[in-house]
């Protein structure tokens, strides 16, 4: 479905890189699943997220490993079933579990990971959407607003895009530009 890399910048300075792939497994309309994985490298740490989602982008399973140097700082593994997201987090300090009640259509968006916004755009929803942020142990209600046709510059080229805004009640809005296939072009 999509594969590539993002340069991650803050205030115009490059601070990291994300290399990702999103694959669709065959299975017809009702049994299609997506498998999204990445390596996200920052100067001080590396994240390795892997998400399995249904045809609508809702999570089935999620895992992420965070390393600083060669040392694993955090490993989270979660499963979704019967309206619950159950996660186990292992760190050098020990192990903890967390369980969330999740509404139908929930999305997983991990901090510092950008290819997952594909599932926001791919769902083609508008209005309120439940979002689980696993490493923060948080479940939020965010609002999706489709701002329609726009353009974005990628590698010096103007590309037609659809502009979607994900509103967070705390004010941390995310502007997302995607192409006609919902492939993420830019996140701000």
- Mean pLDDT over 65-78 rounds to 95
From first CA to last CA, the distance across the chain in angstroms is 22
- Mean pLDDT over 52-57 rounds to 87
Whole-number percent of the chain with pLDDT over 70: 98
- Asked if residues 80 and 61 have their Cβ atoms less than 8 Å apart, the reply is yes
- pTM passes above 0.85: yes
Q: How confident is the model at residue 169 (pLDDT cuts 50, 70, 90)?
A: confident
In order, the DSSP letters of 22-83 are EEEE--HHHH-EEEEEEEEEESS-EEEEEEEEETTS-EEEEEEEEEETTEEEEEEEEEEETT
Block residue for tokens 């965010």: 142
Q: Determine whether 150 is exposed, middle or buried from the number of CB atoms within 10 Å of its CB (0-12, 13-18, 19+).
A: middle
DSSP structure class, residue 120: H
For residue 184, the Cα-to-chain-centroid distance in whole angstroms is: 11
Q: How confident is the model at residue 138 (pLDDT cuts 50, 70, 90)?
A: confident
115 pLDDT more than 70: yes
What is the Cα Rg of the chain in Å? 16
For residue 2, the model assigns a pLDDT of 93
């Amino acid at each position: 479905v999509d594969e590539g890399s993002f340069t991650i910048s803050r205030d115009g300075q490059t601070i990291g890189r994300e290399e990702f792939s999103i694959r669709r497994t065959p299975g017809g309309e009702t049994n299609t699943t997506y498998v999204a994985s990445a390596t996200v490298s920052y100067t001080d740490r590396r994240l390795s997220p892997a998400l399995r989602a249904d045809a609508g982008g809702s999570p089935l399973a999620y895992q992420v490993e965070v390393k600083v140097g060669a040392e694993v700082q955090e490993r989270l593994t979660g499963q979704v079933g019967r309206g619950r997201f159950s996660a186990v987090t292992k760190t050098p300090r020990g192990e903890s579990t967390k369980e969330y009640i999740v509404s139908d259509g929930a999305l997983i968006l991990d901090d510092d990971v950008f290819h997952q916004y594909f599932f926001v755009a791919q769902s083609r929803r508008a209005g309120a959407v439940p979002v689980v942020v696993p490493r923060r142990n948080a479940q939020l209600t965010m609002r999706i607003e489709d701002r329609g046709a726009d353009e974005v510059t990628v590698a010096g080229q103007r590309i037609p895009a659809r502009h979607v805004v994900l509103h967070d009640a705390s004010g941390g809005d995310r502007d997302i530009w995607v192409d006609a296939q919902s492939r993420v072009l830019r996140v701000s």
